[in-house]
Amino acid sequence: MTMNNRFPITKSKPVQYLLALIGLFLPTLGFAQIQGAVRNENNQPVSFANVLLMNKKDSTVVTGLMASEEGTYNFTSFKPGTYIVGVSMLGYKPAYSQPFEIPAANAHFHNEPIIAESESHQLQDVNVVAKKPLYEMKIDRMVVNVENSITSAGSTALEVLEKSPGINVDRQNNAISMSGKGGVQVMINGKQNRMPMEAAVEMLKSMSADNIKRIELITTPPSKYDADGDAGIINIVLKKNDDFGTNGSFTLGAGVASREKLEASLNLNHHVEKVNYFGTYSVTYNNTRQNLDSYRRTMQDEILMESGSESNRAALVTFQNFRAGLDYTMSSKTVLSVLGSGYLRDWDADALNHIYYKTNGVVTGQSNLEMAELSKWIHGMANINLQHRFQEEEILDFNFDFLNYYNDNPSYYTIENFDNTGQVESGENIDVSKITPINIAVGMLDYSNQINSKLKVEGGTKGTLTWFKNDIGVKYLENGILTTDSELTNKYSMEENIMAIYSTVSYGFTDKTSIVGGFEI
């Protein structure tokens, strides 16, 4: 990007205008709830029933959760619209609420209790068919059985998460929270990805739900996992094809909103004798446009104060993700797995922001901020796993991971400040560069044993070595020459070694009461 020095340099006013611009875009927050209860014919609570919030028009699932032990439920993530609440539970007939309307995003609605009738039949011939419910509550996690959900067909992993209990997905900021907390970790088949959340969201957008067996929402992570966040872990377990021969699937999608969106994925599996080869590749392309307007008006001492802003943003996002590996069955109890994965994310954005101030209808000041930003993330991971089963529930697991990240993130800013006549008063051109390579090596030896139906023990040791550099540069364009800001320009480096020993013990007293304890040193 080429910029011309058309005005004198000042460094204080632009910051004030930027802060004002951010303030004008702060949203007004509301707290919305849909509350209710599930009861049986005797007006007793139906504990842990599956509760779904559905659109009245086509019965599509908006979100779902599991009722509490007292049979109550509380939805907090929804948009204005007309809904019904559906209830299902083993031993009960499906039950539904009457349709109701939510007029605003901050509305509070208390639903009448939903009565679930007991289901009993006099049968002559009995066929027992086992089918997992959509939601299962376990000692430390909730399990979403995606492969048993008709509504998940044709969806992406991110869309399934949006409908999962306690999960909130912020697509605009590429963020995921669990039970209202940030810092969520995303794992694939029990392996930590250690990728930035924005890259994890892009990966989930391109992952077909048809390839997912289940999603585990782990609110109390075992001590063997790093405590990178306080929210918990989302573990996505992919379907595994044990059929011999070669098989696969291919998907292709396209859509148009304000601009075009394209996506494609390829999934291949080849199983011969003791070796199973597998690989997936997906790519998404999204051309987005966003227009935001804000206006404020206040009266102070009979003086009318007005301010407003307009923001026009355009971004091109291309995300490519791959995953390939093999499983080698060394014996009936020992399996060696090798896995390689990675992604490439290109983000190219331009934005033009305009802010103005008026006093009694007369313009007193204006400012323009023009921004261009590029962000390229390149990531690769190699994993070796050796697993030995002494017995069905007694497992010794060895893992070694090496991960590399490379981020190139330059950005350019042009700021113009105008007086009340529309003439340029001051301005600034800023050139920011940021290059960050990151390397992580992780080794872990883990032992777990389900001693009986109530008692499980797990323990092991792990080590993590991390080293990275961060090269940041800030320059200002003065008289056609870029001048380095020595206070903001710097090079950082860090090395970190972590060794740990951990153990976890869980014991279930009853089906509804259990205790988990553990330590990590």
Please name which of 116, 113, 115, 110 lies closest in space to residue 92, comparing C-alpha atoms: 116
For residue 432, is pLDDT > 90? yes
What is the Rg, in whole angstroms, of the alpha carbon atoms belonging to the chain? 28
232's tokens: 């918990």
What H or E segment, with its residue span, contains residue 464?
strand 455-478
How far apart are the C-alpha atoms of 457 and 158, rounded to whole Å? Answer: 33
Most confident of 29-38, 59-68, 173-182, 260-269: 260-269
Average pLDDT in the chain: 82
Q: Which domain holds residue 335?
A: 304-521
Q: Could you give the count of Cα atoms lying within 13 Å of 319 in the half-sphere of its Cβ?
A: 19
For residue 419, is pLDDT > 50? yes
Question: Would you say residue 21 lies in a domain?
Answer: no
Residue 444 in contact with residue 226, Cβ under 8 Å? Answer: no
pLDDT tens for 371-410 read 999 999 999 999 999 999 998 889 999 999 999 999 999 9
Which of 9-23, 38-52, 488-502 is the least confident region?
9-23
445's tokens: 């030896």
For residue 97, is pLDDT > 60? yes
Average pLDDT, integer, range 192-216: 79
Of 338 and 33, the one with more pLDDT: 338
Question: Would you say residue 406 lies in a domain?
Answer: yes
pLDDT at 126: 52
- Give the phi and the psi of residue 147 in degrees, each rounded to 5: -70, -15
Average pLDDT, integer, range 160-187: 78
Of 459 and 13, the one with more pLDDT: 459
Strand stretches in 22-112, DSSP E = 33-39, 50-55, 61-66, 72-75, 81-88, 95-96, 100-102, 108-110
DSSP 207-220: SBGGGEEEEEEESS
3-class DSSP state of 357: strand
**Last residue of a domain, which of 120, 136, 164?**
120
pLDDT tens for 111-145 read 889 999 887 655 455 555 555 667 777 767 888 88
CATH number for the domain that contains residue 102: 2.60.40.1120
Model confidence band, residue 459 (pLDDT cutoffs 50, 70, 90): very high
Residue 357 in contact with residue 380, Cβ under 8 Å? Answer: no
Average pLDDT, integer, range 204-231: 74
Question: Would you say residue 443 lies in a domain?
Answer: yes
Question: Would you say residue 63 lies in a domain?
Answer: yes
How far apart are the C-alpha atoms of 59 and 92, rounded to whole Å? Answer: 20
Residues whose CB is less than 8 angstroms from the CB of residue 138 and which lie 6 or more positions away in sequence, other chains included: none
Question: Would you say residue 205 lies in a domain?
Answer: no
pLDDT at 124: 52
What H or E segment, with its residue span, contains residue 267?
strand 260-272
Question: Would you say residue 206 lies in a domain?
Answer: no
Count of domains in the chain? Answer: 2
**Last residue of a domain, which of 60, 92, 120?**
120
Average pLDDT, integer, range 425-430: 88
For residue 31, is pLDDT > 60? no
Question: Would you say residue 369 lies in a domain?
Answer: yes
Residue 408 in contact with residue 376, Cβ under 8 Å? Answer: yes
Question: Would you say residue 222 lies in a domain?
Answer: no
0.85 cut: is pTM over it? no
97's tokens: 């609420």
Residues whose CB is less than 8 angstroms from the CB of residue 420 and which lie 6 or more positions away in sequence, other chains included: 362, 363, 364, 365
For residue 11, is pLDDT > 50? no
**Last residue of a domain, which of 62, 96, 120?**
120
3-class DSSP state of 127: coil
